[in-house]
Amino acid sequence: MSIRELTPAQALARLQAGAVLIDVRAEHECALGMARGARSIVREALEATPARHLPDPDAEVLLICQSGRRSQLAAQALAARGYRNVASVAGGTDAWASAALPMLRPDIDADFGERYSRHLRLPEIGLAGQRRLQAARVLLLGAGGLGSPAAYYLAAAGVGALRIADDDVVERSNLQRQILHTEARIGVAKVASAATALSALNPEIRIEPLAERVDSANVERMLEGVDVVVDGADNFPVRYLLNDACVKLGKPLVYGAVHRFEGQVSVFDAGRRRGQAPCYRCLFPEPPPPDAAPNCSEAGVLGVLPGVIGMLQATEALKLLLDLGEPLAGRLLHFDALAMRFRETRLAPDPACPVCAAGTPFPGYIDYARFCSGH
């Protein structure tokens, strides 16, 4: 069935002469801008009950979408239902905007709209979700192998504030996997190097560098005001401390670890879901002997492996911030790079956990270095 097409200028003239202009895109698309004077009616709703929206089958109806394809299909559906004066706007809203015709736009600046355009087109995120990311604050504990890719993707996604804690400086041996840093910044504090790299990627976000080692005295200050914590630590005392603080303060913790050619990712959210979701201590009630869990400097690690795990951590952090999908709470994801295989282990909360069991008061912070050394 042939449908009449109008240029945007012709459609504007007909609109001013009394025609009805209907934007058939989804609501999240219309929220990013639409032709001024158009009514927003989602295509599926228009096609399902056209008489509800257009009681006069002889009225002049113009349909517009993003590029012209959906409006053509909607016009054909209306014509088949007896509407005799239907036309589609060629090129859709893209062509309308390119012709500099009047637009109704949201209150966002050009940088925001262009930078996050692919998020804004996802109905699961849209403008509301991107604003939610913009208002969020994430703590990244560590600007090393895991923190580097996680920080890059969270910054690129538009998380409004990244608080990065690390007391180390950049060394040449870091560059094989810690992609935030460069040869020129060897000897520079990692948090300063991270701030330079991330600000160059996205100058619209705030970087809060903390060049200090986390301990029982400052951990709660580091967690103050954050929505999600990403664990990029490479030692057990920090992991246990971070877990305990997140349980006490009700912060979701995105865990990641790498060893040689294998990695793990999970989400520990026991602080907000006591008795329903496990914490790190439910998985590892006692730390392994030091010689059973050497760090990267002792055992080595495939350079790309922290990239895979850190990227998965960033994915989980974004899901938590947006309340999307199914987080890895109660699940431990294992990755074997040599076999290129993922496997999943179910985790249940430990009803006897000394930190997160339902009804258990917080036991206080302990000497984590001594605890993890087995003394």
**Residues belonging to the active site:** 296
d(C-alpha 114, C-alpha 32), whole Å: 11
* Separation in Å, CA 79 to CA 18, 46, 85: 20, 12, 8
d(C-alpha 120, C-alpha 133), whole Å: 12
In sequence order, which residues have a C-beta less than 8 Å from that of residue 92 and are 6 or more positions away?
A: 64, 65, 66, 67, 68, 69, 70, 71
Residue keyed to tokens 């760090």: 295
DSSP string, 291-304: GGS--HHHH-B-TT
d(C-alpha 43, C-alpha 54), whole Å: 13
Segments of 133-190 assigned E as strands: 137-141, 161-165
Q: Is 346 helix (H, G, I), strand (E, B) or coil?
A: strand
Residue keyed to tokens 């295509």: 43
* DSSP structure class, residue 361: P
Q: Which of 270, 287, 288 is nearest to 279 (CA)?
A: 270
d(C-alpha 58, C-alpha 290), whole Å: 81
Q: Give, to the nearest 10 degrees, the angle between helix 305-322 and helix 126-134.
A: 110
d(C-alpha 308, C-alpha 320), whole Å: 19
